[in-house]
A and B are shown apart, each in its own frame.
Chain A
């Protein structure tokens, strides 16, 4: 089966804002070319090649954060043969300086340093020498790998702009294969060539990676290519009844009478106490270690750790089954079996399997408050309204005036109604009542009303409803959204003034 499909993800066109900055800022470095080539051979091997040509335009790209000065190549000598095809620097005067032999170092990757069975993996460091203004670093290498199963997801973005990003894939005609790509809209061009290759795509003038806060997943922001070829190795599928008698003592130490707490303790033990050895599983042929290996060694990949959690849960007497992001665990509550989803990559609380996810989180709080704000000077007191659990967590201090990237937000529907009782004496008056009510099309509604009631109490109504498609605020919507967030934060303080002639005593 030879299936090539493409998905176009439409991200709204970028807005253009005027800039208050008199200087326009240039780039520090620019890739002239990045080329990735994947060739699956018919003899059960594959060749993965990479080429980059990057021009350094400014001193800081060379010295201050020398992140362009080295290249790190992960490989597994047990199955891979790494060949450096070319490595040199072209200086501004056109002269070429070959990377010296002592600038290639094969070292253990730091993520493998606490795990014996992954100690064979290596990181080839290439230290690029002779860097100066306007030089071009050229590096070209190939990894020849024993293995024909390919599963790659390439996000075409770097921290400097890329003039030309080329992806070439060559797969055997009769193989089971799938190639797909998603394209985010932007000021770049993407061309898919119909040539002798199975897949050949060239993206030009790619901008650099966004640096804003609250970014959505990279795959939705940048062009992405997904490639898969061949059958998953059969040994990555393990039996679902693996137990772990070696862990009986440890499991006992984690016991709790509440079954869900017990299960969570086991999950937390693995997260906290098993060293995480994280690297692309392609380096080990997508194989996972047994739960016993992971437990006894005290280390493993995230996939190994997930398998260990499941086995320890079974050893503790629970029903446990792995799924993509964790383990389904069955506990008994009041004699009834209940299945929970237990994440194994974070200590998120267990969630009942099948429970509805609140797509637009709802908070509705109405309560009385007693004034607890201190005197700030003169006859004035100020009180900041409480921040309730689960409320929107967008901080407008991180929302700059110009933004080209979409913004990820969790849709919400928050309603707060507070009645604040003021000190009995002296009489106090609300300073600066607030009355804001606005609906932003396609985004949501904000309403803030702070007023003093005839009874003297302060009545506060704060309502925020955000309902954007897929939880994404587009650049076009950003300005209005930012203003909503500014207002939501700014009008969270209530100021009162003591009755004239009767100054407040104390705080």
Chain B
């Protein structure tokens, strides 16, 4: 083993010397904790008159540790064969220890005998559209090995999928940076022999892209070039942090080449519950569409032309059946929205051509009883129209900002209905199964675009008042002389808080009893639950949730002569599942990044406790300051009246998306509630 070890030492010494010559190792502390460095990352786009785009990527990545090696042991490209074509053109591995270069995929996609480009339908859950993937196995890597990749794509990807959107650009990289400023059409080799028309985007003649100029690993140089007909009037803008960004443009005949570049991209250290990267970090939006109105009209047209909303006799009959008990316009809207929410299962199968941006027609949805968000929205539009409403589909971006450049920043599709008074109302049948809302307030402060015949501008959903999402816990209890606490408490809630409390029922019915019991046992493991009653979960639309516990907890309080020491049970964080703010880490004293909670929220807790004897004084070993601010309010108090102690606490969180400047008030309110949940009151005769 000794000889072997000497050999290893020599090998390591040699490879370390080689690694030390690299520029990126001149600042080792700068890259501490990073797994890779991308030394260059370039994308070259050539847009044709039809809107068809051909894209070349070239990227070189240095492995810094074994975690980076593992992450890069395969190269993958996602694509939808119905609308895009991709190639993994060349893959090289520059070995650090030997100084040799291994060709995994040779130029022009030629494979080594033991290598292969695998092409298959990508693993999926819930959305089975046949989205494909090409993969090359790079295999074993060691730190300081470098992987160099050339890939090509033509066509487009359009998927209205909540939370499933992939940032197509920037995911894999492209071309030679030096050559990026000028490239002719011939630079884009396209081996296709069949008709390219299927790669032309549905909004024909237009191009858009969303380019993240950020990365979760360091990138020393990133460049994105796009070659467009000057007549197409490309609109573009960088957003958020623009440090190190440069841009120039060159006119070549009837075309203009725009080149965007950023050096020294370092990963952002995220503060907890921060917003999406695209809302905080440098991104580039580009679009040839003149405005949002044009997108709105296109979206309206593409679905009307397909006939997405055409009712069938079966659908019309179902609408009649469902609306028989409806008493008002709003009643009808609610019945249909919740029927679609609860009866069209979220699961997507492909309709073939047009999948991703065309809403399945009513016949398919009604027969299959399944679909993704756009299909659920389409089903609701069809049913509302069958009921005589004016209704349209709309697009939105769940939990990410939509900026003004009309690039399609959408990952979710919803529905709008026009009331008799002309007002539009948003409906989201995807996000409200089992929720007493028509539009999920977890989507407040969110951009959306209605697909209307006359067009519409980008809009934003308003803040939903905290009162609409109250969670109330009220209790009465009695402390016995032996310290046993007996009593009842009731949890009621509305809106998104109602949905959160109902989380105990979001499981098989056989698990409900256990879930209900665990809510109390988590606070008091020795609690004896005497009775639990609750509202009928299957009739959730009829009333807000209400769950009442009757309990007894031995040895809960310390009754010590003339003193009583205890924490009011209702203060201790019962049903934390409905108080997302309690999961925030309040040790962070300052924030620089905006943050978000699930929803605005009002918390009201009260308890009346009967004591074993009259008390005259109370000691509380915590100083709780009230919080008053536009974003958050908090207050709490105790009142001692002979044999009765009354406890009350109220916290109001007024938004879903908060500025960093809101943090001190938010933090104080959360810290207060946590402190109250852990601080006993000491009462004295």
Binding site for B on A (CB under 8 A): 19-23, 25-28, 58-66, 69-70, 97, 100, 102-103, 105-110, 112-116, 119, 123, 125, 127, 129-132, 159-160, 208, 211-212, 246, 248-253, 255, 269, 272-275, 295-299, 316-317, 375-380, 395-402, 431-432, 485-487, 489-490, 495, 497
Instruction: Name the residue of chain A whose CB is nearest to the CB of B5.
Output: A255
Could you tell me the distance between the alpha carbons of A28 and B509 in the complex, rounded to whole angstroms? 7
Interface residues on B, range: 35 or more
Q: Which of B619-648 contact A (CB under 8 A)?
A: 619-621
B4, B525, B620, most chain A CB atoms within 10 A: B525
Contacts of A489 in B (CB 8 A): 525-526
Complex CA gap A25/B513 in Å reads 8
**How far, in Å, is A188 (CB) from chain B's closest CB?**
16
**Does B684 touch A at the CB level, under 8 Å?**
yes
Q: Which of A115, A378, A401 contacts B619 (CB 8 A)?
A: A378
Say yes or no for B159: interface residue by CB 8 A criterion. no
Inter-chain pairs besides A114-B74, A316-B1, A485-B525, 16 sampled, C-beta below 8 Å: A27-B510, A102-B352, A108-B123, A113-B76, A113-B123, A114-B73, A211-B514, A252-B8, A252-B11, A297-B139, A379-B682, A380-B565, A397-B522, A432-B558, A490-B525, A495-B565
A497, B120: Cβ atoms under 8 Å? no
Q: Are A253 and B619 in contact (CB under 8 A)?
A: no
Partner of B533, one of A22, A62, A107: A22
A298 interface neighbour in B73, B565, B619, Cβ under 8 Å: B73
Contacting pair B509 A27 (CB below 8 A): yes
- The reply to whether B565 and A107 form a contact with Cβ atoms under 8 Å apart is no
Let me know if A116 and B128 touch, CB within 8 A: no
Mark each residue of chain B from 127 to 146: 1 if its CB lies under 8 Å from any CB of chain A, else 0: 01010010101111111000
Chain B residues lying within 8 Å of A251, measured Cβ to Cβ, are 8
Report B467-516 residues with CB < 8 Å from chain A CB. 483, 506-514, 516
Known: A21-B532, A132-B343, A376-B682. A400 touches B521 (CB 8 A): yes
Which of chain B's residues have a CB closer than 8 A to the CB of A58?
509, 538
Q: Would B70 and A119 count as touching, CB distance under 8 A? A: no
Contact B70 A65 (CB under 8 A): no
The reply to whether B532 and A376 form a contact with Cβ atoms under 8 Å apart is no
Q: Return the contact of B679 from the options A59, A125, A274, A377 (Cβ within 8 A).
A: A377
Known interface pairs A127-B370, A130-B367, A272-B66. Does A377 touch B526 (Cβ–Cβ under 8 Å)?
A: no
Compute how far the CA of A298 lies from the CA of B147 in the bound complex, rounded to whole angstroms. Answer: 15
Instruction: Let me know if B378 is at the binding interface, CB within 8 A.
Output: no
Q: Which residues of B contact A103 (CB under 8 A)?
A: 128, 349, 368
Instruction: Report the bound CA distance from A246 to B95 in whole Å.
Output: 13
In the complex, 22 of the A-B residue pairs with CB atoms within 8 angstroms, ordered by the A residue number, are: A21-B516, A23-B533, A25-B512, A61-B508, A62-B345, A63-B341, A63-B342, A69-B347, A105-B124, A108-B121, A110-B123, A113-B123, A116-B137, A119-B120, A129-B369, A252-B11, A298-B69, A378-B621, A379-B682, A401-B528, A490-B526, A495-B565
Check if B4 sits within 8 Å of A317, measured CB to CB.
yes
CB-CB under 8 A from A159, the residues of chain B are 508
Task: Knowing A64-B506, A317-B1, A377-B621, say if A298 contacts B347 (CB, 8 Å).
Answer: no
Q: Hey, which chain A residues are within 8 Å of B513, CB to CB?
A: 19, 21, 25, 400, 402
B560 in contact with A108 (CB, 8 Å): no
Contacts of B339-356 to chain A: CB distance below 8 A: 341-347, 349-352
A316–B510 Cα distance when bound, in Å, is 53
In angstroms, Cα B12 to Cα A379, docked, is 64
Which residues of chain A are near B620, meaning CB under 8 Å? 377
Closest to A212 in B: B514
Structural contact, A495 and B558, CB atoms closer than 8 A:
yes
Interchain nearest-CB distance for B209 vs A (Å): 26
Residue of B66, B130, B525, B679 near A376 (CB, 8 A) is: B679
B465 within 8 A of A: no
Does B92 have its Cβ within 8 Å of any Cβ on chain A?
no
Q: Does B576 contact A (CB under 8 A)?
A: no
Q: Is there an interface contact between A66 and B347, defined as CB atoms closer than 8 Å?
A: yes
Within 8 Å CB of B517, what residues of A? 400-401
Q: Which B residues are within 8 Å of any A CB, using their own CB?
A: 1, 4-5, 7-9, 11-12, 15, 66-67, 69-70, 73-74, 76, 97, 116, 118, 120-124, 126, 128, 130, 133, 135, 137-143, 341-347, 349-352, 367-370, 433-434, 483, 506-514, 516-518, 521-522, 525-526, 528-534, 538, 550, 555, 558, 560, 563, 565, 619-621, 679-682, 684
Contact with B140, one of A23, A61, A70, A295 (Cβ below 8 angstroms): A295
The reply to whether B73 and A275 contact each other, CB–CB distance below 8 Å, is yes
* Closest residue of A by beta carbon distance from B622: A377
- The contact of A377 among B122, B130, B555, B682, by CB within 8 Å, is B682
Q: Which residues of A contact B140 (CB under 8 A)?
A: 246, 250, 295-298
Nearest CB of A to B133, in Å: 7
Q: What separation, in Å, do the CA atoms of A235 and B516 have in the docked complex?
A: 53
A298 to chain B: which residues have CB within 8 Å? Answer: 69-70, 73-74, 137-141
- The complex places the Cα of A65 from the Cα of B347 at a distance, in Å, of 11
B15 near A249: Cβ-Cβ < 8 Å: yes
Q: Determine the chain A residues whose CB is within 8 A of the CB of B66 once the complex forms.
A: 269, 272-273
Selected contact of A132 from candidates B369, B531, B555, CB within 8 Å: B369
Docked pose: A20 CA to B532 CA in angstroms: 6
* Given known contacts A25-B510, A69-B347, A397-B525, A377 and B680 CB-to-CB distance under 8 angstroms: yes
CB distance from B128 to the nearest CB of A (A): 5
- B76: chain A residues at CB < 8 Å are 113
Cross-chain contact A20 with B433 (CB below 8 angstroms): no
A21-B516, A21-B532 known; A129+B368 contact, CB < 8 A: yes
Decide: A129 near B367, CB < 8 A? Known: A102-B349, A400-B518: yes
Is there contact, CB below 8 Å, between A20 and B118? no
Which residues does chain A contribute within 8 Å of B124, judged by CB atoms? 105, 107, 125
Once the chains are docked, how many angstroms separate the CA of A61 from the CA of B343? 11
Q: Which residues on A sit within 8 Å (CB–CB) of B511? A: 211
B321 shortest CB reach to chain A, Å: 13
Which residues of chain B come closer than 8 Å to A211, judged between CB atoms?
510-511, 514
Instruction: Tell me which of A113, A299, A377 has the highest count of chain B C-beta atoms within 10 A of its own C-beta.
Output: A377
Are A59 and B558 interface neighbours, CB within 8 A?
no
Q: A273 touches which one: B5, B70, B560, B563 (CB < 8 A)?
A: B70
| Selected contact of B433 from candidates A63, A116, A127, A375, CB within 8 Å | A63
Min distance, Cβ B487 to any Cβ of chain A, angstroms: 14
CB within 8 Å for A380 and B682 given contacts A65-B507, A298-B73? yes
Which of these, A25, A299, A395, contacts B73 with CB under 8 Å? A299
Given contacts A21-B532, A102-B349, contact A248 B8 (CB under 8 A): yes
CA distance A106 to B346 in the complex (A): 20
Q: Which residues of B contact A160 (CB under 8 A)?
A: 508
Provide the bound-state CA to CA distance between A395 and B7, in Å: 52
Q: State in angstroms the CA–CA spacing of A65 and B433 once bound together.
A: 11
- Measured in the bound complex, the distance between the Cα atoms of B112 and A296 in whole Å is 15
Judge whether B531 and A125 touch: CB under 8 Å.
no
Q: Which residue from A65, A97, A106, A485 sits with its C-beta under 8 Å from B121?
A: A106
Flag if B120 contacts A253 (CB, 8 Å). Answer: no
Shortest A492–chain B CB gap in Å is: 11
When the two chains form their complex, are residues B531 and A20 in contact, meaning their CB atoms are under 8 A apart? yes
Q: Within 8 Å CB of B525, what residues of A? A: 395-397, 399, 485-486, 489-490
Which residue of chain B has its CB nearest to the CB of A483?
A: B526
Please indicate the chain A residues that have their CB under 8 angstroms from the CB of B538 in the complex: 58-59
Q: Is there contact, CB below 8 Å, between A105 and B681?
A: no
A66/B8 contact (C-beta < 8 A), A20-B529, A28-B508, A317-B1 known: no
Interchain CB contact under 8 A, A252 and B123: no
What is the chain A residue whose CB lies nearest that of B683?
Answer: A378
A171 to B97, CA, bound (A): 55
> Which residues from chain B contact A66 at a C-beta distance below 8 Å?
126, 345-347
Chain A residue numbers with a CB within 8 Å of B368 are: 100, 103, 129-130
Q: Are B560 and A431 in contact (CB under 8 A)?
A: yes
| A107-B526 in contact given A131-B370, A400-B518 (Cβ < 8 Å) | no
Identify the closest chain A residue to B556 (Cβ): A490
Contact of A497 among B118, B344, B560 (CB under 8 A): B560
